[in-house]
Chain A
């Protein structure tokens, strides 16, 4: 996307991701590009690639067909999957504890993906 190329916008985007990481209870945040490469990674999980591999493939195959935001709740955790192909061809994966401030996570992820 064009705004990725501008240094100033890149910084802004990075700030949104940093804001996500500052929300208490966030355990991992990954951003994948359209080829499935990690372009951002902050994680408390040491071994992860083999676990998200299938999901990355799923997003690569179904990019245009997948809804923009998913909030998946388990008994203990919240997994957010977000994409906006109009602004960024990859997708965001965020893992946090269930009682994390969802509103803050949502706002920053949406801002990063220009979904606001």
Chain B
């Protein structure tokens, strides 16, 4: 009697099975199983890494390079997300912070245009962070053309703000 192998296509254990196939030189089977798995699951670093192993074993250089590129992109997204989580966790624990707002635009209308010739002309580079000090202190941090506005409580001392800014810079 023929034995049929059934499996749950959503199970992450499938990746272990794919690796098992690779160990036994069953590359085509491994790739088919991996593709089936990816129909039901989001692409992950591990999945692409396994796929790269298959392409390498098959000697398919072009496929390998494409997958390598894909792996690089996924890794970038992963590290960015990890960074965001770390930053959020750090800021959530700060008593000095009153409010955090995300915005797409440069925080001060009309100012960016007036600063641009100065920054470019003197070769100073692009603005990464801004501290605005008035009756209240604000810290602005930019990433991927978006700005995070951090409003501090009125009794916050300036050195506390610079310390938070430097701590954010150090998070990697």
Contact = CB atoms under 8 A, between A and B. Distances in A.
Contacts of A53: 117
Interface string A65-82: 011111111111101000
Contacts of A23: none
Nearest to A82: B133
B115 A106 contact: no
A74 B119 contact: yes
Contacts, number: 81
A70 B128 contact: no
B171 interface: no
A103 B159 CA distance: 8
Nearest to B165: A73
Contact of A71 (B121, B126, B130): B130
Interface residues of B, number: 28
Contact of B133 (A28, A52, A62, A67): A67
A54 B113 CA distance: 8
A77 to B, nearest CB: 4
Contact of A55 (B118, B126, B133): B118
Interface in B104-124: 108, 110-111, 113-122, 124
A48 interface: yes
A95 interface: yes
A104 B160 CA distance: 16
Given A54-B113, A58-B110, A95-B124, A73 B118 contact: no
Contact of A77 (B114, B125, B159): B125
A74 B118 CA distance: 12
A63 to B, nearest CB: 13
B160 to A, nearest CB: 13
B35 interface: no
13 contacts: A48-B121, A50-B117, A54-B113, A57-B114, A58-B111, A58-B114, A67-B132, A67-B134, A70-B130, A71-B132, A72-B130, A73-B128, A76-B125
Interface of A: 28, 45, 47-48, 50-55, 57-58, 62, 66-77, 79, 95, 102-103, 106
